[in-house]
Structure 1
Amino acid sequence: MSSTRGGGLPPRAGGGRGRSAETPSARRSAGASGGGGGNGRRPAGKKKKSGAKRFWTFFLVLLLLLVVGAGVYLGWMYQKSQSIGTGGEPAKPASTQPIAMVLLGTDFREETDSHLTDVVMVAAMNPKTDTATVVSLPRDTRIELEGYKVRKVNAYYPAFLAQEKKGEGEAKAAMQRMLSKYFDIPIDYVTVVNFQSLRDIVDALGGIEVDVMMDMCYKDTADGTDINLKKGPQKLDGKNALDYVRYRKTNCNPPTGPSDDFSRNQRQQQVIGAIMDKVQTFNALTKSGSLIDAVADNTDTDLENKQILNLVKTYWDIPKENISYPKVTGQWRSPFVYINDGELSAAKQALKDELAGNHRSSSAESGQ
C-alpha cells in the first residue's frame, strides 16, 4: 500500500525498504527506518490474491493500524490515537517478535444488546519474515473443547461477558484462553470491534461506492431495522453499508431473495474493499480525526498504545502476497457447522509455522 497516496500514511525517513535475500535481520533493521517504497520487498508467494481474500486481515489493519498510522503523521493526531489501546509496555514488541491476535466482529447494537461474534479470526504475524497467516472460522462452527460447554463459536464471547458481569473474569481474557487452547498456539491479544464501527467509518469517509449484488428488503420494528436496497452500483452511507452486510432474509411483499452466510461474507469483503480504496485516497488532514474517533468509540482491545504503533511501523505496507489464508470450511448440519478436520489441522499448523518463522504461502498450501 503506497505511503504517498492522497495524504495518507507517512513516508518513512531515510532510504528504501528493500531487502536482500541473504540478510533478513539486516533487512528488517533497515526497513524500520527505510523509505516508503515497498517494491523492493520480495513477496513470499507469487499467486495474486483478490481484494476479497484480504478482508478480515485488512479490517484489522484498517481499523487499528492504518487509521492510527495517520496519527503518527500529525502530532496532535498522535494524542488522539491514545484513545485506542491500553497503557504500559508490550511484553513482545511486534516490531521484533512474532505475535498472534484474535479479532472478533460483534453484531452489538444498543437496540438489541447482543454480542454474538459474526467474525472470529486469528492472525499470526512475523516481523522477521514480514508475513502473516490469517484463519477465519465460520460463525456457526461447533466447538467441542475439554473444559468448555459445546457451543457455536460465535456464542462464547456473549457467555464470557455474562460471566464477567458476575465478577468471574474478563471476557476478552477468557476468549484468549479458549482460542489459544483450540488452535494450540499462544495468543497475545484480543480485539473486539462492533458493527457500529463500520457504519461510523463509512460516514467519516463520506460514503463508499458499492455494486449492490441484489435487491434487499427486510424490516423489524423491534430493533429499528429497515433494509431497502436495490441491485446495482451506488454510493452507500454508513447505515446502508451496514444493512448491506447484515442482510439475511426478507419479510417484505414482494419478497427479495434470501442470503446465506457465504454470500454475507462476500458482501462484507466487498464493503471493506471499498473502504480500503477510499482510505487510500483520503486526506489525512481532514479525515483522520473522525476515523480514529469512529474506531475508538467502537473498539475494545487489550493492545497497548505502543504495541499499536509497533504494528503500524512494522506491517502497514505489508505486501498482500505475504499474507496466507488457510481454508477452513465445513458442513452445515443444523444448528452447527462441522469443520473439516483436515483443513482445521492444516490451518493450526500454518499458524504455528508463521510464529516459528516458516511462513507458507497460500499457493503452497493449495499445492500450486
Structure 2
Amino acid sequence: MSSTRSGLPPRERSHKKSTKKNSRKKKKKASGFKIFLRILLTLMIVSALGVGMYVGYLSVTLDQVIEETGTDEKVAPEQSAKVKPLTMLLLGTDYRPETKTHLTDVMMVIAMNPETKSATVVSLPRDTLLELKGYKANKLNHFYPNFLVQEKKTGITAKYEMKTMMSKYFDLNIDYVTVLNFQGFRDIVDSLGGVDINVDADMCYRDRADNTNINLKKGQQHLSGEEALGYVRYRKSNCSPRTKASDDFDRNRRQNEVLHALIDQAKSLDGVLGAGKVIQSVGKNMETDLESKQMKNIISAYWNISKENVAFVPVTGQWKNPYVYINATEFENAKQALKDELAGIRPNADDAEETEPAKAGN
C-alpha cells in the first residue's frame, strides 16, 4: 500500500510475495488500539496506556505484535500519524472458533487528529440497507463476507474492497482498515481482568449451535470477556421468563459504553498487569493494512488521549424488516463530524450529545 495516500489507495492483492518473511506473516494472520468490537482505536489506546505504565516487557511485546501484524511498507514523514490526521474503517466480525463466520456486526469509521489529540467515531447499525452505485443493495454486514468469497476470483482483498466502498459511501477518503473479531474482544476483556458495567436490563438467550449462553441481571456487574460479549451482542430472548429484546441502536450504545469502560480498566492495576496479554490478544485476532511504522506513530501520537476527547456519533434510523433505513440527517451530520475532526474543529458540548435512537425492531 502506498504511503502517499493521494486519493484512493492502489488495489491490495490477496496474494503476497513468497518470501520467507511474508510467508510467516501470512500464517500468523490466518491463525490468528476499541470492540475489540466495534473496535481498533480504543484497543490501541488501551494497549498504549499499558505501554506508558509498564514500559520494559510491554515494549518488547508490542514491537513483536506490531511487526507481525502491520505491513512492512514505508511511511513518509509527512504521512505520519504524529503530524497528519487519519481515517480508519474498523470492522468487528462475528468470527469465533465456534462459528467461523465473518459478518461485520460492528462497523465504525474513525477520524483521528494529532494536533487536538482527539478522535471521532461514527458507528452504523449492522442491518443498515446500503444502496450505492456500483454495488448490489444489501445489508451492511453482508458485504465483507461476500468480498471474502470474491477474493479467490479477483485477487483483491476484502479489506480493500470494504475500504473503497465505505470511502464512497462516506464521501471521505479512508486511509486504513482494521478487522477485529469477537474472539479478540473476549480475550482483551479477560486480559484486563474483566470490565465493570451497569447492565441496563435482564438478558437471557441460549444457542446450543455456537454455545452462546447470555444470562445477565440488571445492575452493576463485573463481566468476563464472554459475558461482555453477550452484553454487546444481545438481540432477543428465548429463555423463560422472556427478557426484553434489543435493537441495533441498543447494541451500538452498549458497545460505546464498554469501550469507555475498557479505557478506565486499562488505567487500573489489573490493566497494567494484563497489558501484555491485551497486546498479544489484539495481534492474534486482528488484520490490518496499517504499516508497522504507522502503528507505532499512532501509539506515539495518541497514547495519552482521554476518553473525553473520543466522540462517539452513532447513526440511528427506522427498522423495517429486514433492514434499518438510517436517518439521512443524522448520517450527513456524522459525515460532517468526521470531516470536522480531520480539520481540527471540535464540537461544542451541546452538539456532542447523542441523538435519542428511533424505535426499531429486533
Give TM class, smaller chain: 0.7 to 0.9
Look up the match of 1:152.
Answer: 139
Q: Deviations over 1:101-134 (max 9, x none)?
A: 1111111122222211111111112223433332
Look up the match of 1:175.
Answer: 162
1:95 deviation in Å? 0.7
Look up the match of 2:215.
Answer: 228
1:177 deviation in Å? 0.4
Is 1:80–2:64 an aligned residue pair?
yes
1:168 deviation in Å? 3.7
Look up the match of 1:191.
Answer: 178
Identical amino acids, percent of aligned pairs: 51
Find the aligned partners of 2:46 and 2:81 in 1 and give their Cα distance.
Answer: 15
1:222 deviation in Å? 1.3
TM normalised by structure 1 equals 0.76
Is the 1:66–1:312 contact (alpha carbons within 8 Å) kept by the matching residues of 2?
Answer: no
Look up the match of 2:40.
Answer: 60
- Number of residue-to-residue matches in the alignment: 313
1:351 deviation in Å? 2.4
1:142 deviation in Å? 1.4
Find the aligned partners of 1:261 and 1:321 in 2 and give their Cα distance.
Answer: 24
Is the 1:80–1:289 contact (alpha carbons within 8 Å) kept by the matching residues of 2?
Answer: no
Aligned-pair RMSD on alpha carbons?
2.6
Find the aligned partners of 2:39 and 2:316 in 1 and give their Cα distance.
Answer: 21
1:220 deviation in Å? 1.4
Look up the match of 1:292.
Answer: 279
Look up the match of 2:240.
Answer: 253
Is the 1:55–1:273 contact (alpha carbons within 8 Å) kept by the matching residues of 2?
Answer: no
1:359 deviation in Å? 4.4
Find the aligned partners of 2:109 and 2:222 in 1 and give their Cα distance.
Answer: 31
Is 1:272–2:259 an aligned residue pair?
yes
Distance 1:105 1:339, change over 3 A: same
1:136 deviation in Å? 1.5
Find the aligned partners of 1:274 and 1:345 in 2 and give their Cα distance.
Answer: 28
Look up the match of 2:75.
Answer: 90
Find the aligned partners of 2:217 and 2:270 in 1 and give their Cα distance.
Answer: 30
Look up the match of 2:18.
Answer: none
Which SS does the other structure have where 1:250 is aligned? coil
Which SS does the other structure have where 1:169 is aligned? coil
Find the aligned partners of 1:355 and 1:320 in 2 and give their Cα distance.
Answer: 18
Find the aligned partners of 1:55 and 1:225 in 2 and give their Cα distance.
Answer: 18
- What is the one-letter code of the residue matched to 1:200? D
- What is the one-letter code of the residue matched to 1:79? D
Which SS does the other structure have where 2:281 is aligned? helix
- What is the one-letter code of the residue matched to 2:72? G
Find the aligned partners of 2:111 and 2:299 in 1 and give their Cα distance.
Answer: 15
Is 1:216–2:203 an aligned residue pair?
yes
Look up the match of 1:354.
Answer: 341
Is the 2:37–2:181 contact (alpha carbons within 8 Å) kept by the matching residues of 1?
Answer: no
Look up the match of 1:165.
Answer: 152
Look up the match of 1:37.
Answer: none
Is the 2:119–2:311 contact (alpha carbons within 8 Å) kept by the matching residues of 1?
Answer: yes
1:167 deviation in Å? 4.1
1:218 deviation in Å? 1.6
Look up the match of 1:240.
Answer: 227
Structure 1 runs not aligned, ≥5 long = 1-53
Which has the higher Rg, Structure 1 or Structure 2?
1
Find the aligned partners of 1:277 and 1:338 in 2 and give their Cα distance.
Answer: 34
1:78 deviation in Å? 4.0
Look up the match of 1:203.
Answer: 190
1:238 deviation in Å? 1.6
Structure 2 runs not aligned, ≥5 long = 1-33, 354-362
Distance 1:285 1:303, change over 3 A: same
